[in-house]
Amino acid sequence: VIETGLREECGVFGIYAPGHDVSRTTFFALYALQHRGQEGAGIVTCNGAQAAFHKGVGLVSQVFNEDNLRPLKGHLAVGHTRYSTTGSNTERNLQPVVIETLAGPLAVAHNGNLVNTSALRKALMERGVGLSTSTDSEVITQILAAPPSVWSSELPHEDDSWVTSIRALMSVAEGAYSLAVLTRNAIYAVRDPRGVRPLSLAEFETGWAVASETCAFSTIGARTIREVEPGEIVRISKHGLTSFQGVPAKRKALCIFEHVYLARPDSVIEGKSVHAVRHEMGQRLAEEAPVEADIVIGVPDSATVAAKGYAHKMGIPFTDGLVKNRYIGRTFIEPNDHLRKMGVGLKYNPLPSTLKGKRVVMVDDSIVRGNTAGPLVNLLRTAGAAEVHVRVASPPVRHPCFLGVDMAVQNDLIAHRFPVDRIRKHIGADSLAYLSEEGMLEVVKGQVEERRGHCSACFSGHYPMQVPEDLYGERTKQKLEAVWASTAGVRA
């Protein structure tokens, strides 16, 4: 409805806690993960025999109520918040994916994106497995449900056959996946061998939990233990936490955009406070691209911390210049033509009392398509700003993401099409500067030899794995929709 640039595509949560109201706890954890997906949510519980679930389109608060939470009984649960493209497939694609197997219920909550989904779909269908959605998450679930020997004959035997099945999945899945998997008696936390998307573990008096971000643990009163390691499987059961090496870890490639924009500032990733990293990025930006000005403002809320860092380093006052309507979110009501033309006016209002006659630095976290920055600059000028200097706390986004962030097709990325000065003219700013890639990586890691631990492909074009030709230049999801459509046609 309103262009927001880019979106994380999911948040996952899992809990094992006998004697605890796991569905209610999962509900509040999903609330904390709402920023990772705002178009759908779901919870699956299990009592050691049967699963119960509820899923729906909308925000967590719109999907769940006392009536539909009450039947979700059990001592283990997984939950999911989802972002997806709007359309007829929205409901069908909701997660967690839940199926019945010979070994009992199986539910999968997935954050990330596989890059070899087409090949895996084909392999499943050749084995007679029908698929009913376009998601790679359903593919993951069906691979887990099949006998592991179908996918690999060289897997070491485990007493826990689900561990063998997860290893089989990890031996064929390529791409980004952080999973919370529910079976009859256990929750499994699984992270791909590069650790592209975050995943952390926590404990509380009666059990353990796994979540995409640690902010979910603070909400439910759990204590963060550690992150799930790349390539690791962690089983949470009556035996406590048990770690298995799923596949050997590869060179780590945590998505650097989690630090820049995606994660909540009160989360801790790689032992670092996301808030502190963003503040430092603002300071580094001030060192690299200073400008004479009277006030610094941030594009609320995601760029506020970086703007404070910029202001601090420059010795210029930080103030509020834009007020965000926090409740517009992702509405399902299309605005009429008049409102659509107003664009960002629906989402942001300027504060003339602080802007009038001032030379303003507006700090944003990123510029993706470039159709928000221009209207924002215009809003500030209309409110009386004498000059508007735009500073971006990340490098130019020139390449699409195939690993779990909904961004844009390459030709829609403004920095792919234009050099910085053309972008400056396009958005109508007096000056425009970005944080360098070097600066961003130094802030996140601090040490040169550790820099290879991140994916920064949307800035550099260097993907941590080979991206199949047919995905390049197209949003993965669009491709999958096409695969789904053609498959449906063949089978109809």
Report the C-alpha dihedral over residues 411, 413, 415, 418, rounded to 10 degrees: 40
Nearer to ligand SF4 by C-beta: 385 or 440? Answer: 440
Nearest CA to 2 among 300, 323, 413, 335? 335
Q: Which of residues 212-271 bind ligand SF4 (CB under 6 A)?
A: 255-257
- Catalytic choice (10, 215, 255, 401): 10
Nearer to ligand SF4, 460 or 487 (CB): 460
* Shortest Cβ 261–ligand SF4 spacing (Å): 9
Among 215, 457, 465, 480, binds ligand SF4 (CB under 6 A): 457
Question: Using CB under 6 A, which residues numbered 273 to 312 contact ligand SF4?
Answer: none
Min dist. Cβ of residue 178 to ligand SF4 (A): 12
Based on the shown chain and the rule CB under 6 A, indicate whether residue 405 belongs to the binding site for ligand SF4. yes
x-marked contacts with ligand SF4 along 348-387 as a string, rule CB under 6 A: ----------------------------------------
Report whether 120 contacts 473 (CB < 8 A): no
Q: Of 180 and 263, which CB lies nearer to ligand SF4 in the complex structure?
A: 263
Contact indicator for 362, 338 with CB cutoff of 8 Å: no
Q: Which is nearer to ligand SF4, 253 or 311 (CB)?
A: 253
User: Could you give the string, one character per residue 164-203, with x where binding to ligand SF4 holds by CB under 6 A and - elsewhere?
Assistant: --------------------------------x-------
Position among 458, 465, 467, 471 found at the interface with ligand SF4 (CB under 6 A): 458
Residues touching ligand SF4: how many (CB under 6 A)?
11
Based on CB atoms, which residue is closest to ligand SF4, 192 or 280? 192
401 is an interface residue for ligand SF4 by CB under 6 A: yes
Would you call 46 a catalytic residue per the annotation?
no
Minimum separation from the CB atom of position 432 to ligand SF4 (A): 21
Which listed residue (163, 299, 403, 423) binds ligand SF4 by CB under 6 A? 403
Reading the block at residue 428, the tokens are 């109508």
Interior CA angle at 216 toward 178 and 452, to 5°? 45
User: Which one, 222 or 255, has the nearer CB to ligand SF4?
Assistant: 255
* Least distance between ligand SF4 and beta carbon 196 (Å): 6
Name which position in 456, 477, 480, 484 contacts ligand SF4 (CB under 6 A). Answer: 456
For the bound state, the minimum distance from the C-beta of residue 202 to ligand SF4, rounded and expressed in Å, comes to 24
The least distance separating ligand SF4 from the CB of residue 24, rounded to whole angstroms, comes to 33
HEC string for the chain: CCCCCCEECEEEEEEECCCCCHHHHHHHHHHHCHHHCCCEEEEEEECCCCEEEEEEECCHHHHCCHHHHCCCCCCEEEEEEECCCCCCCCCCCCCCEEEEECCEEEEEEEEEEECCHHHHHHHHHHCCCCCCCCCHHHHHHHHHHCCHHHCCCCCCCCCCHHHHHHHHHHHHCCEEEEEEEECCCCEEEEECCCCCCCCEEEEECCEEEEECCCHHHHHHCCEEEEECCCCEEEEEECCEEEEEECCCCCCCCEECHHHHHHCCCCCEECCEEHHHHHHHHHHHHHHHCCCCCCEEEECCCCCHHHHHHHHHHHCCCECCCEEECCCCCCCCCCCCHHHHHHHHHHCEEECHHHHCCCEEEEEECCCCCCCCHHHHHHHHHHCCCCEEEEEECCCCCCCCCCCCEECCCHHHCHHHHCCHHHHHHHHCCCEEEECCHHHHHHHHHCCHHHHHHEECHHHHCCCCCCCCHHHCCCCHHHHHHHHHHHHHHHHC
Residue 72 touches ligand SF4, criterion: CB under 6 A: no
Which of these ranges, 63-71, 284-292, 423-431, 450-458, lies near ligand SF4 under the rule CB under 6 A? 450-458
Show the CA angle centred on residue 217, arms to residues 77 and 68, nearest 5°. Answer: 40
Q: Point out which span in 126-134, 265-273, 297-305, 455-463 binds ligand SF4 (CB under 6 A).
A: 455-463
Residues 101-160 that bind ligand SF4 (CB under 6 A): none
Beta carbon nearer to ligand SF4, 165 or 267:
267
CB of 149 to ligand SF4, least distance (A): 32
Residue 60 or residue 196: which is nearer to ligand SF4 going by CB? Answer: 196
Give the nearer residue to ligand SF4 in terms of CB position, either 84 or 354: 84
Which residues here bind ligand SF4, judged by CB under 6 A? 196, 255-257, 401, 403, 405, 455-458
Active site residues: 10
